[in-house]
Amino acid sequence: MRTKELVLVLACGIASGCGGSTAPTEPPAAAQQDVARRFAEAIVRGRGNTAVGLLARPDDAALARFALRAARPWRTEHAQLRLPGTRAGRHWTFRYAGRQTHSDGRFEDVRGDITIIVAAASGRTGVEYFALRNEDIRFSTHHDSLLLPSNR
């Protein structure tokens, strides 16, 4: 009778999945940092397609569009990224600063943080989500330095 009970318990455990862990494991910190750094660099260098390739789920259309849109202003002039970044669990934060020049001559000096959440999905480490935070944008034009004595 004991053998039948043991077989029944094992069969139920295997069928219900309680015999093993199905939760994804957290990637090692070095792998997280590498992916987060490469993603942040892709955004501030204007390489949106590279950033999309680093997503944990590249088929997530909304997040892919967000990555492409975040990288777009940095295609012609890149921002500087402060490395190595800071870590809080799976969250990695990098500071960036750069200038975005527009076709009409005006420009914006932009500073902020990019926070990246790294996770394991489908057997690979990738970006689960990211946010541009604490953006400080200073507007100016190329004419200001010529016309306004206060900017000299």
Question: Which sequence spans correspond to the domains of the chain?
Answer: 24-151
Classify domain 24-151 by CATH architecture. Roll (3.10)
pLDDT in tens, 56-114: 988 899 999 999 999 998 988 888 989 888 999 889 999 999 988 877 777 888 999 99
The C-alpha atoms of residue 123 and residue 75 are separated, in whole angstroms, by: 31
CB 92 within 8 A of CB 85: yes
Structure tokens, 91: 């969250």
